[in-house]
Amino acid sequence: MRKTHANSKAASGAAGRAKLKAGPGLVVRVAKSAGFCFGVKRAIRIARDLAASGAEVRMLGDIVHNEQVIRGLEAAGIRKLRRLGRGRGRTLLIRAHGAPDRQIRAARRRGYRIVDATCPMVREIHRLVRRMDRSGRRVIVMGDRKHDEVVGIVGRCRRGALVLDLKEPLPEKKLRRIRRAAIVVQSTQNEAEALAAVEAIRALAPDLKFFNTICRPTRMKQQEVRILPLETDVVLVIGSRTSANTRRLYEIARSLNRRTHWIQSAAGLRRAWFRNARTVGVTAGASTPEEIIRGVVEAAARLPGP
Ligand code: SF4
């Protein structure tokens, strides 16, 4: 049960989800895994502690993919950089998705003190690819080519890595030429798609080590979002447009229930979506703050229902 929704009448829903009913309106079910994962919570805690310590803190890009969280950190005094300037003893915070080695080395050379908020699960991927790269295997990363996490993973391989975007056809010729391969997966990829792609790659590059590096919070979110759309009339997926894991949740939910909508906050809700609906399922990306989820749930629960 999610404590923050205590003002609604609530009962445990199927598959461990919270079920909220507000008067004569819609029944709203919230996925238990909706919202911050431990990696994001940890990165935000590190950032806030640093800001409170009085250090001059800079972050390169967004440390997590949510505008409200970033605004909060900026208000606490952390400044966002577009590119590395002179460090002069300032602290550079490495985001939850990690960063390539060369970027961290460049920051040190410029005088930054580094505080690493990389999620431990991403760090584990870094360790894995470094080991595989050193052992002579060609590292293959399944993920979004330009995503910070993928850039950071590739940047840990001295000999570079082949990035496979699961939305694109497999580069068969390139794969056939690889003698020994090791595959890792961006932590927030669609697990079903990744597993299917591994089987297809195995047929092309048989000497293959596969590490399923999709993180546990992502798996839990994806498991829930494969059930929620089947049990509810309308599905709301909450998260920033820049959040890759939110996109994944949206894509899975939408493939199962056409009445799925991706919103960033309660302001995005449209009454017309709920015509003849009795139940609403809610989930949220790993960097969506609890207040935003609560705002959506409360607004949806106030809608009149069928
Ligand atoms: S989604 Fe997974 S890998 Fe990414 S920050 Fe959260 S726990 Fe870490």
- Per-residue model confidence as pLDDT tens digits over 190-230: 999 999 999 999 999 999 999 999 999 999 999 999 999 99
For the chain, give every domain's residue range.
3-36+217-302, 39-118, 125-214
| Rounded CA separation 49/56 (Å) | 12
DSSP 95: P
Atom of ligand 1 nearest to the CA of 188: 1
| Partners of 21 in beta bridges | 9, 27
pLDDT band at residue 89 using 50, 70 and 90 as cut-offs:
confident
Whether 119 is in the pocket of ligand 1, judged by its Cβ within 6 Å, is yes
How many CA atoms are closer than 13 Å to the CA of 106, on its beta-carbon side? 11
5 has pLDDT over 60 = no
- Per-residue model confidence as pLDDT tens digits over 139-153: 999 999 999 999 999
Whether 211 is in the pocket of ligand 1, judged by its Cβ within 6 Å, is no
Q: Whose CA is nearest to atom 7 of ligand 1?
A: 39
CATH topology of domain 39-118: Rossmann fold (3.40.50)
Question: Catalytic: 149?
Answer: yes
22 has pLDDT over 60 = no
CA 278 to ligand 1 center in whole angstroms: 33
In the CATH scheme, what architecture does the domain 3-36+217-302 have? 3-Layer(aba) Sandwich (3.40)
The pLDDT of residue 11: 30
Q: Whose CA is nearest to atom 2 of ligand 1?
A: 215
CA 205 to ligand 1 center in whole angstroms: 29
Distance of CA 30 to the CA centre of its chain: 18
Task: Supply φ then ψ for residue 161, to 5 degrees.
Answer: -150, 160
Q: Which residue has the higher pLDDT, 150 or 83?
A: 150
41 has pLDDT over 60 = yes
CA 25 to ligand 1 center in whole angstroms: 35
- Per-residue model confidence as pLDDT tens digits over 232-286: 999 999 999 989 899 999 999 999 999 999 999 999 999 999 999 999 999 999 9
Task: Quote the pTM value.
Answer: 0.87
Q: Which residue has the higher pLDDT, 305 or 187?
A: 187
The pLDDT of residue 2: 43
Atom of ligand 1 nearest to the CA of 119: 8
| Rounded CA separation 82/77 (Å) | 16
CATH number for the 125-214 domain, one of 1.20.1280.290, 3.40.1010.20, 3.40.250.10, 3.30.1380.10? 3.40.1010.20
3-36+217-302 and 39-118, same CATH topology = no
Of these residues, 56, 67, 149, 291, which one is catalytic?
149
| Rounded CA separation 166/77 (Å) | 38
Whether 188 is in the pocket of ligand 1, judged by its Cβ within 6 Å, is yes
- Per-residue model confidence as pLDDT tens digits over 91-142: 999 999 999 999 999 999 999 999 999 999 999 999 999 999 999 999 999 9
pLDDT band at residue 74 using 50, 70 and 90 as cut-offs:
very high
The pLDDT of residue 143: 96
Whether 217 is in the pocket of ligand 1, judged by its Cβ within 6 Å, is yes
